[in-house]
Each structure stands twice: as structure tokens, then as C-alpha cells.
Chain A
Amino acid sequence: MEVVEKKQNGICILGLLGRLDSNTSPEFEKKIFEVIEDGTKSLIVDFESLDYISSAGLRVLLKATKELKRSDGKIVLCSMKEYIKEVFEIAGFVSLFPIVSSVGDAMEEF
């Protein structure tokens, strides 16, 4: 798994590549919390190149959004494959995160 960080118009974009599973989610957790501790309040997580997520990855996103909400920040998720979006629906996560179809649409959410 790889996490690519970009900054655009004051918004931080984390692009995920590969598999976010029980083994790689600690690495993603470290990265997303670093970004939050650096003061980022507007965060986009781009799923375009993510092939796989399990409950371990969802857990990290939930922890991160709770942390960001404390400082009035927000996470927007984008470019998810249909089968990945389905697990967000099963988990009831669609009410916790705006999920949009592209990074461009995600930028509009802020």
C-alpha cells in the first residue's frame, strides 16, 4: 500500500494505492494522523487507485473523522469503486462521510 500526499488550495489530498487491509492500515493511520496533527482541517481521501479495503481500513477512517470533527475539520472521500462503496453502505458509513465521484467534486465540498 502507498499513500501519496498532495496539497491544493489549502486542502490536503491523500491518494491511496493498493490494499488497505489489517496489515497496511497501521501505516495509513500513522499518515492520516500526522496530517491532522499538522493542522489540516480539509482532507480528501482519493480511492481511485485503491483496490481493496477491509474493516481495519474503515476503522482508521472512522477514528480520523472523529478526531477532525473536534477541530471542525472534515474528510471527503472520492473516486471509489462500486464494490468498495458497497461495504461503506453495509457499514452505515455513507452517513458519516460525503462520498463523491472525483477529486474535483470533492474540492467543491469545502
Chain B
Amino acid sequence: MANSLSISFANDMQELTHLLQVVNVFLEPRALSSKLVYAVNLILEEILMNIIKYGYDDEDSHEIEVQIGVEEEEVALTVIDDGKEFNPLTIPGLARSKSAMDRLEEGLGLQFVRHMRNAMEYRREEDKNILTIWIFL
């Protein structure tokens, strides 16, 4: 069984659904916990939705690459896109006092990512965002 998967897809919400299906077919035979499979799906959806919604100023089709590696002790997710420079590590945490609506407006999805990942690394190379997220098993 291959330990890694690499797929490219266009910046389109329908394509995102298809991508997550492919990811789940890859994860399914590995008998990972439902919580971990959920975390992988949620992190990918929130990160990719953010890129599709806010990453591009033009109407052109752009390729987004997703890599998943499953090792004995961790799952590594890498997302590479040619959108605007965006480093999710610089997003501050939300103040507890904020209302639920403010939390949604201020990127709740990325807060989920922050909460569920164990480590995260960002770099900008050749006009591309390269984000890697690790979830420990």
C-alpha cells in the first residue's frame, strides 16, 4: 500500500469535494481513527476553501497541489498553491471574549486548523505558498 498520495486540482468548490473523496479512498484501508480522518478532512477543506475564496484576484483556473503522507507516527499534509502570499501562522488566536459571529468572520476555519494540527510550517518559494501540517497519531 502506497504511503503517500499527490493530487492536483483546479481552484473550484466542486473539485474540492472530488479531491476529498479521493483523499478518503486513500485513507480508508488504513484503519485510522474517525477523529483523525475527520481532522484531515477538516484541515484540508478549511485551508483549500480559504485559498479558493481569497487566494486569487483573477478569474483564471489555477492548479492547487495536495500531498498526503501517512507514516507510523504521523500524517503530513502539504498544500502548494500559486495564490497571493498567505502565511496562516501569522493569524492570531481569537480572544475568548469575541462573539460567535466575530469568530466566524475572523476565519473560524483556520482556528480549527490551528487546534487540530500538531505542527505547521509555511514557506513562500517561486511565487508559491507551501504549507505543511503534521498531525501526530
Residues of chain A at the chain B interface (Cβ within 8 Å): 21-23, 51-52, 54-56, 58-59, 62, 81-84, 87, 90-93, 95-96
Contact = CB atoms under 8 A, between A and B. Distances in A.
B64 to A, nearest CB: 15
A54 B45 contact: yes
A55 B94 CA distance: 15
Contact of B49 (A22, A58, A87): A22
B108 A52 contact: no
B27 to A, nearest CB: 13
A56 B104 contact: no
A83 B109 contact: no
A58 B13 contact: no
Interface string B99-117: 0110110001101100100
A74 to B, nearest CB: 16
Contacts of B20: 21
Grouping DSSP codes into helix (H, G, I), strand (E, B) and loop, the A interface class, with mixed when no group exceeds half, is helix
Contacts of A55: 46, 104, 108-109, 112
B100 A96 contact: yes
A83 B14 contact: no
A52 B41 contact: yes
Contacts of B45: 21-22, 54
B95 to A, nearest CB: 10
Interface string B44-77: 0110010000000000000000000000000000
Contacts of A23: 13-14, 16-17
Interface string B1-33: 000000000000110110010000000000000
A96 B41 CA distance: 25
15 contacts: A21-B45, A51-B34, A51-B38, A54-B112, A55-B109, A55-B112, A58-B104, A83-B38, A83-B39, A84-B38, A87-B42, A87-B112, A90-B115, A95-B100, A96-B100
